[in-house]
Structure 1
């Protein structure tokens, strides 16, 4: 009598699914704030002439966008912000790398930067007016100054925090100076560089708010100043909302780029 043995069916090992938090939950608190704000404005708790309702602000934004005014001011503000961030950010990364990697750079670059960071760059507006005038150069200079220091110090710290043992191991493996910078220094400094970039963008937008209120003819800041003279509170609040949204969108884009670039990093996840 023969016994038939049925081969066991091997099931592939189950891979636990990664829990992904629903991102829409992050919208709950802002929506609640908007509802509370709308209700307070409609019931008179918040005076309409002081703090208009979100629906009125949205209506004003739609009206300004329909006649093209908002687009013109927004594009001019974005242009100033991008140019200033490009100048200040590039200069910050180059000087931070030179100060962190070279002894002579550390001795000659870092001390003046450390001294200059104690000066409030927005307090330099009168001096900048004398140096560069009250035109576009002033707005771009303020954005460049605002974005320079966060990016410089975070890049400098990111390079200096690289473990020396990694550098020695890379040299032992035969990496030359360029390969060492590419495969060790750059990946090690990228997390701090992205953090500095996020802070630099926030400081750049803050600087632009001040810069566009000095002899500007276009821009969101100019739109707010013009509205203040005519007591158009809804336009002023609209400008603040636009600045906040621009900062939020910039931060989201940087975080997305950081996530795609630093795929090798596994940090602590919120539970």
Structure 2
């Protein structure tokens, strides 16, 4: 909410906007860039945590595959697993950037 300029809030109230309208049309659009950036970071941390959890306590998944292949010195499998993990992480990042462009086209223009 701190990203909304107080002048914009006062201007909306002076034009007769209700509290709900100020929240919906001034405060939420101002806060959306930070919200979606935090979601993007959260998706990255979530993916990293998932792969790490698969390495620690799973019997299936990419993390388990990479860890078990490394124990049997299957270097091509390890490298391919790392590439797949990175490609999926990059795809998640591209998806979040696309969502940001569609939902908040004004980002960086306020």
TM-score class, shorter-chain normalisation, is 0.7 to 0.9
Name the CA distance, whole Å, in 2 between partners of 1:177 and 1:240.
Answer: 50
TM-score by length of 1: 0.38
Q: 1:251 aligns with which of 88, 93, 96?
A: 93
Name the CA distance, whole Å, in 2 between partners of 1:222 and 1:266.
Answer: 41
Show CA shifts across 1:19-67 (max 9, x none).
xxxxxxxxxxxxxxxxxxxxxxxxxxxxxxxxxxxxxxxxxxxxxxxxx
TM-score by length of 2: 0.86
Name the CA distance, whole Å, in 1 between partners of 2:33 and 2:20.
Answer: 20
The unaligned stretches of length 5 or more in structure 2 are: none
Q: What is the aligned length?
A: 109
Superposition map of 1:4-83 within 5 A: none
The alpha carbon displacement at 1:234 in A equals: 1.3
Residue matched to 1:180? 22
The alpha carbon displacement at 1:209 in A equals: 2.2
Residue matched to 1:193? 35
- Asked if 1 retains the 8 angstrom alpha-carbon contact of 2:54 and 2:64, the reply is yes
Q: Quick one: structure 1 residues 192 and 237, their matched pair in 2 at CA, closer, same or farther if it must change by over 3 Å? A: same
Q: 2:54 aligns with which of 201, 212, 220?
A: 212
Q: 2:64 aligns with which of 196, 216, 222?
A: 222
Q: 2:4 aligns with which of 162, 168, 171?
A: 162
Q: Which moved more, 1:246-255 or 1:175-184?
A: 175-184
Show CA shifts across 1:201-239 (max 9, x none).
221222122211122011111111111221111111112
Superposition map of 1:132-143 within 5 A: none
Q: Quick one: structure 1 residues 266 and 213, their matched pair in 2 at CA, closer, same or farther if it must change by over 3 Å? A: closer
Q: Whose helix fraction is larger, Structure 1's or Structure 2's?
A: 2
Name the CA distance, whole Å, in 1 between partners of 2:107 and 2:63.
Answer: 39
